[in-house]
Amino acid sequence: MPRYKLTIEYDGGPFSGWQRQDNAPSIQEALEKAAARLDQAEVTVQGAGRTDSGVHALGQVAHIDLAKDLAEDKVRDALNYYLKPNPIAVLDAERVEDDFHARFSATQRHYLYRIIDRRVPLTLDRGQVWRVPRALDADAMHQAAQFLVGTHDFNTFRDAQCQADSPVKSIDRVAVARYGEEVQLTIEARSFLHRQVRSITGSLVEVGVGKWTPKDFKSALDAADRSRCGPVAPPDGLYLTAVDYPGKSGA
């Protein structure tokens, strides 16, 4: 059975998350229904990351095995046809080796968190960013974020429902920068704990509004204690932007 790697974009707002649910719509289920119509057989979609309810993607990666041997552009275009009217788009379909696995072959995951700091309500960006009604000091947030780089016990930023075997993770790069009225956090690691990025973002906003200093943020990280985490950021502003694989980056 030929295997295809899919690069996918979606608005997570209408969905309960990536993972298939019994009583709620999911991105995985929508893709599997589209693939089943294409292949005229049951198809399982394996994703690189299980994004939460409301979290978006610009470059989620998944793989499928089809009974039919189809051209790559045919797979992409047919899936997009059958996905309508869901806010999901297959950007690319690529034939890959049978041992490729969207989740287990991944070497790096890239996330973006978008914040707009203004008092005025959002219109065009509603549901796509987190509106913080106070001015943020992006430089202080960036300074604090550098304490995350390296290998740490991330229990402070680990959701209580996280099923990972260990709270120890390695973050390779993190940055906070302002672009006009928007503050963006970008972060890269091989893997993340459940709601780790949203937990980190919420605590960095505490630095941005002046409630915490960068040293306070480091102290919270070093405590490895969930009670030291700041408010968890909402899902609206979080995007899985890319997944890397051996020999390729920015998939």
Q: Give the per-residue pLDDT at 248.
A: 65
Residue stretches of the chain with pLDDT short of 70: 248-251
CA angle 232, 216, 134 (to 5 degrees): 55
Q: Give the per-residue pLDDT at 99.
A: 95
Would you tell me how many other CB atoms lie within 10 Å of the CB of residue 23?
A: 5
Q: Is 52 known to be catalytic? A: yes
How far is it, in rounded angstroms, from Cα 241 to Cα 155? 24
Task: Give the active site residue among 52, 117, 236, 244.
Answer: 52
Question: What's the CATH code of the domain at 129?
Answer: 3.30.70.660
Number of domains in the chain: 2
Would you tell me how many other CB atoms lie within 10 Å of the CB of residue 125?
A: 14
Altogether, the residues listed in the chain come to a count of 251
Q: Give the per-residue pLDDT at 249.
A: 52
Residues 117 and 217 in one domain: yes
Tokens of 35: 């693939």
Please give the residue range of the domain that contains residue 113: 108-244
pLDDT in tens, 44-56: 999 999 999 999 9
Where among 59, 76, 96 does a domain terminate? 96
Q: Give the per-residue pLDDT at 162.
A: 85
Of 216, 226, 195, 206, give the one whose Cα is nearest residue 147.
Answer: 216
The answer to whether residues 225 and 155 touch, using CB atoms and an 8 Å cutoff, is yes
Residues 233 and 120 in one domain: yes
* Burial (CB count within 10 angstroms: exposed 0-12, middle 13-18, buried 19+), residue 104: exposed
Helix axis angle for 196-208 and 138-145, nearest 10°, is 130
Q: Give the per-residue pLDDT at 85.
A: 97
Q: Give the per-residue pLDDT at 72.
A: 97
Q: Give the per-residue pLDDT at 193.
A: 94
pTM listed for this prediction? 0.94
Q: Give the per-residue pLDDT at 251.
A: 42
